Chains A and B, each alone.
Chain A
Amino acid sequence: MNGEFASIGALLLFVVVAGFQSATPIMFAATGGSFSAQVNVFNVALEALLLGSAFAAFLVADATTSVWLGLLAAMLTGTLLAALFAFLTVTLGANEIVIGFAMNIAVVGLTAVLLTTIFDSPGSYLSATAGKFPMLYSDIGWLAVLAVALVLLGHLHTFHTRAGLRMRAIGQDPAAALAAGLRVNSYKYRAVLMSGLLCGIGGAVLPLSGLQLFSVGMTAGIGFIAIAAVILADGRPLLAGAAALFFGFTSAIGIALQTYGFPNELVLSLPYVATVVALFVKAYVTRRRAAAAKAAQRERGQARILVNA
């Protein structure tokens, strides 16, 4: 990008396109993460799932020149990595934060080793054969539409299906759910594997739209941003998707500011700062609401006393 935009319209168009572009993988990951959150699994591995599947997509698409085979490989890789996470945390009972984070480090290392081995390139590799996903408009891919659709489907699954109800029950009170005859661990696996599948799609988007490039650690924390979206939404897919869009647009606005001469590094740190600020606002509002509810209850209580007198 060089120079400023020709008109306000051009600027807005740019922000919308870039916003959807950067929000797409976050939306997939955040929807997936919502399912994990519903069964009360803190899925810190989202970043690892995205990065691992991004590499798988890149590798397969480069070798076969088919983005769809790449997508398939990414979904498979995401699900397999999620299965590992679920096995270690749900079955073996290890700490989710430790495992998720260690998986993230492992995947960064492993993809870097494989990148050097397979493509003979230490930092990043630009593929000439990988191709990219079909675009709906400019740089907004059809997969962005799929992301929005999946957010909606996730909402329906959560609030309008039996499985969704059961998953939420397990998240809120696993002991009660177990007593009611639900197979708690099997639902936990199911939720984490769904996260893996969705992160797989999100990961495939990264190297196979825009530049056909894989670079070490290319996810750059968007998996963690997706976690923040899930926390903001309390595991509700619709809100998590909206939060993902917000973070995507924040980074798009940043890129637009860059063309007005704002320093690169400041602009790039916008989405991360926005994440922290959003978490603060959420905590603030929640606490305010809790305080207000308490006050209202106290008032009601007083009214009852008056009536009784």
Chain B
Amino acid sequence: MSRVLRYVAAAAIGLFVASLILSLQGYSAGAFLEVLRMATIGSPYAFLDVLRWTTPLLLSGLAFLIAARVGYFNLGVEGQIYVGSLFSALISHLLPLPPVLAILAGIVAGIAGGVLWALPCAWLAKRWGVNEVVTTLMLNYVAVLLCTFFVKQFFLAKVAGGGTIQTITTDKIEANAELPVFTPFSGLNLGLLLALIVAAVAAFVLMRTRTGYELSAVGEGPRFSQFSGIPVHKRRFQAFLVSGAVAGLAGAIETQGVLHSFIAGSLDNMGFNGMLVSLVAMNNPIGLAASAFFFGILQNSQLVISQATTVSSYLVTVVSALFILAFAANPTRFLVDTWRARRER
């Protein structure tokens, strides 16, 4: 009951602020609900696009979740997705392969990129106890800058006629490496299936196996785990790297499924949204898909807002952040608690 109340209260606050901002701009009070409707079932393709966004959000949420299970805040999912996406694009250019192999190579490269970017933070946290919140955040900025640098320096897309283009992007990847799309109308591709499988496997491992138990034990009570013989630091380190791997996979699927090249700036906020996805699912792998779907709708609303209104599409960012603020602070529990305390007195 209180759990339902918690979601409803958070949604109400988000909806209220969004409606307030829209109505201050002269739109009707129900405008944001209309936006949400259009983004979900407004057109035959809208729903496909929601699923298209659900794919990377599910993976980036899972990446955050896996680290959170052992008590790490991996705020570097953003950067790990970036590097994964770039690596996936590069392997296709450097190593042309036949159809299925090319897809696999791209995905492996993406995963390697994610792991590579998580590695320094994971090592510093495990070996030296360096706060991972700051290091992961710092490496996000470095990832964006370095990826931009490498693309500009070595892999910038060639323009017919020798001119230069404004967007920092690589050439299109080989057709062999592209993940097949389900319909020609939307970017929704085989990646969704892949993401669902990975999430299901992760949920199984986390909930039903000894490894999963150890990971939760490490997160919930590191001292106790230590004494019961679980290699705490090792499990944490492994979870951090797997977290990076999943983030890298998300980047690879973005490159091979939708963008078909590495495009700087097109991945912005995907990692941070993953944190929101995981938090709303209360770090529970079962709830993750539903949560990713919910944020998929919000992500798709961003497009609707920028097309249908003059309001900045950042409105959606505000809504999701406020939703999380309200959700994490759980004001209803506070109210219930104070009310109870008062009655008992």
Contacts and interface: CB of A to CB of B under 8 A. Distances in A.
A228 B279 contact: no
Contacts of B279: 98
Interface string A248-265: 000000000000000111
Given A272-B142, A275-B138, A117 B133 contact: no
B336 interface: no
Contact of B139 (A95, A272, A280): A272
Given A102-B325, A283-B129, A116 B311 contact: yes
A110 B316 CA distance: 10
Contacts of B9: none
Interface string A69-108: 0000000000000000000100110110111011101101
A102 B322 CA distance: 7
Interface stretch (B82-90, B144-152, B159-167): B144-152
Given A98-B279, A272-B141, A276-B138, A103 B321 contact: yes
A228 B134 contact: yes
B315 interface: yes
B317 A112 contact: yes
Contacts of A268: 145
A224 B142 CA distance: 13
A117 B145 contact: no
B328 A231 contact: no
Contact of A224 (B134, B146, B315, B325): B134
A307 interface: no
B328 A106 contact: no
A179 interface: no
A287 B129 CA distance: 10
A102 B324 contact: yes
Contacts of A109: 314-318, 321
Given A116-B312, A220-B141, A283-B124, A108 B317 contact: yes
Interface residues on A, range: 35 or more
B315 A113 contact: yes
Contacts of B138: 221, 224-225, 228, 272-273, 275-276
Contacts of A225: 138
A99 B317 contact: no
A159 interface: no
Interface string A185-221: 0000000000000000000000000000000100011
A276 B325 contact: no
Contact of B312 (A122, A227, A279): A122
Contacts of B315: 109, 113
B311 A117 contact: yes
Nearest to A44: B133
A113 B321 contact: no
B275 interface: yes
B183 interface: no
Contact of B330 (A92, A224, A227, A275): A92
Interface residues on B, range: 35 or more
A54 interface: no
Interface string B264-304: 00000100100110010000000000000000000000000
Contacts of A272: 138-139, 141-142, 145
Most buried by B among A95, A98, A115: A98
| Chain A contact surface mostly | helix
A106 B327 CA distance: 14
Contacts of B128: 280, 283-284, 287
B73 A97 contact: yes
A231 B148 contact: no
A225 B138 CA distance: 8
Contacts of A44: 133
A221 B75 CA distance: 13
Interface string B21-48: 1001100000000000000000000000
A276 B329 contact: no
B55 to A, nearest CB: 21
Contacts of A116: 310-312, 314
Nearest to A112: B314
A263 B153 contact: yes
Contacts of B129: 283, 287
A295 interface: no
28 contacts: A88-B328, A92-B330, A92-B331, A94-B330, A98-B328, A101-B75, A101-B275, A102-B325, A103-B321, A105-B269, A105-B272, A105-B321, A105-B324, A113-B318, A116-B312, A117-B24, A117-B311, A220-B141, A228-B134, A231-B131, A265-B148, A266-B145, A266-B149, A273-B138, A275-B134, A276-B138, A283-B130, A287-B128
Given A94-B329, A102-B324, 8 more contacts: A99-B329, A105-B269, A113-B318, A220-B141, A227-B133, A263-B152, A269-B142, A269-B145
